[in-house]
Structure 1
């Protein structure tokens, strides 16, 4: 009897170890596919493997509560006046008052998730990395990495992003980006975001506030005349997935 118990215990232990090993393999990442500079930025923010273990992200932005499935990028945005979701195939919108939502649901449903999940979303599949000039702001130089997309990747494959980081600690400081969603035409003019504050969430350094900067008449990056930071609060990450119906259209 004792031998049977010992064998059973050993079998359970082997299965548990195998399961744990499988989990480790699932989150392992081949970092050789990324530019070394980007790898250092990802490590400065907690590491891509730590990020990839997460299944669900939730944060509040003003009155909106955003929930994103990190595995498939399904999303849900809930506010007192409307609910907006993407179920993996279609974007849907429910408004409590007529025209309560101002904007394009297809463009908006993952807009702030993408800004929020920097720099980790810049390690997605289908991305092309290139060198770019450093960004100079108030006499300080920030090295950069240009990010573009292979044709057909995402809803706006002609978008370009420019990640700029602190050369001392490789922490992300700025993001330049173009918007091609509405006309599908490549752009040279970029908008600039300062990643003003960061917060530690479960071992990951994620944004607390963003500030959109402006350009003066000769193209210098300058603070906006009126600073209206976008702040992210009540942030949580989970390694557990939600039911797929969570992102379906509400009745």
Structure 2
């Protein structure tokens, strides 16, 4: 399978800084197209939320860059990513203790190689799989809190960097030509529509189109009045054949 990926992160309409961080890249290893993308949303209730999101994306970029050999054992590659998430969580907790800061972040990521994919998330950033229909394949780690008798709000139940006993939600399956994944922060999905998600991935054939369509979705929710930071990354399986090595960040 051949993949392309691309995305954007936007400060949004009202925030003074962008606490989101993204990473996306695709490369060819041993003739196999391997694609990886992640969206991290720093926790707004923590004064240093952007530190955790940036640490996660930088650590995952280094992890992906370190992959120089792929034997076709996708289970082993997926487990390597999963273990990296736990190590990042520990590193952020240690940083908060040493530097006396308050930071934490969500993570949502998709790894794809050949005809396999592995998706994971901690927190409420989401992953949608678009395969004819739109399906949310991530799990929102939230609890519902009664503000008053007429108002219910959601609160994160876990995030990276705010506890040693995190549970990483995972899902894996096969990919077919035409399948796409949209990875996004809550700044996007709170106001995006299912039809907009579906159309965003329909005609994508390359990295440039991924970025263009991610930008269009971000513009759409900004015009609808979204106040949060907004991030979106698209991965598209564009076909089978001999992949060409391209990488973006």
More helix by share: 2
Q: Which structure exhibits the higher relative contact order, with contacts defined as CA atoms closer than 8 Å and separated by 6 or more residues?
A: 2
- Normalized against structure 1, the TM-score is what? 0.30
